[in-house]
Amino acid sequence: MRGRIALLAAAAAAAVAVTHKLRRRRPAYVPAPVAPPEPEPDPRAEELREKLAASREVVDEREADEERETPVDEAIAVEDVEARRDEIHARGRAAVADMQQPEP
């Protein structure tokens, strides 16, 4: 009986060893890399390119217009601001005086 158990144990050990050896010899399956397909041209791409070109033209036009404008600090002198402020206050006081007069 002991001989049969030893024989079964040896057979099992041999089966495990052979299985292990066979698995080690076989390389792991690695699929060959496949290049991704070329993307199809997007039909909206040309439309977007046209919009981008148009927006660049608008920006260029705006910059050209802004270059021709007089900067704010050069446009109005400080004395002119004081005179304008005095004139507006005088008109405001005149409007208040007209509103305070009793109607006939």
Owning domain of residue 52 = 2-26+44-100
The number of distinct structural domains making up the chain is 1
Helix (H, G, I), strand (E, B) or coil at 98: helix
The residue written with tokens 């002119």 in the block is 80
Helix (H, G, I), strand (E, B) or coil at 73: helix
Please indicate, yes or no, if residue 39 is contained in any of the structural domains. Answer: no
Please indicate, yes or no, if residue 38 is contained in any of the structural domains. Answer: no
CA–CA gap between residue 18 and residue 76 (Å, rounded):
99
Please indicate, yes or no, if residue 10 is contained in any of the structural domains. Answer: yes
Digit-coded pLDDT (tens) for 37-87: 888 888 899 899 999 999 888 888 888 888 888 777 666 665 677 888 899
Please indicate, yes or no, if residue 35 is contained in any of the structural domains. Answer: no
Please indicate, yes or no, if residue 34 is contained in any of the structural domains. Answer: no
Digit-coded pLDDT (tens) for 12-42: 999 988 888 777 765 667 788 888 888 888 8
Encoding tokens for residue 69?
Answer: 């404008």
Please indicate, yes or no, if residue 33 is contained in any of the structural domains. Answer: no
CA–CA gap between residue 60 and residue 53 (Å, rounded):
11
Please indicate, yes or no, if residue 91 is contained in any of the structural domains. Answer: yes
pTM of the model: 0.31
Look at residues 72, 73, 54 and name the one whose alpha carbon lies nearest to residue 62.
54
Element (H, E) at 76: none
Task: Give the total residue count for the chain.
Answer: 104
Please indicate, yes or no, if residue 36 is contained in any of the structural domains. Answer: no
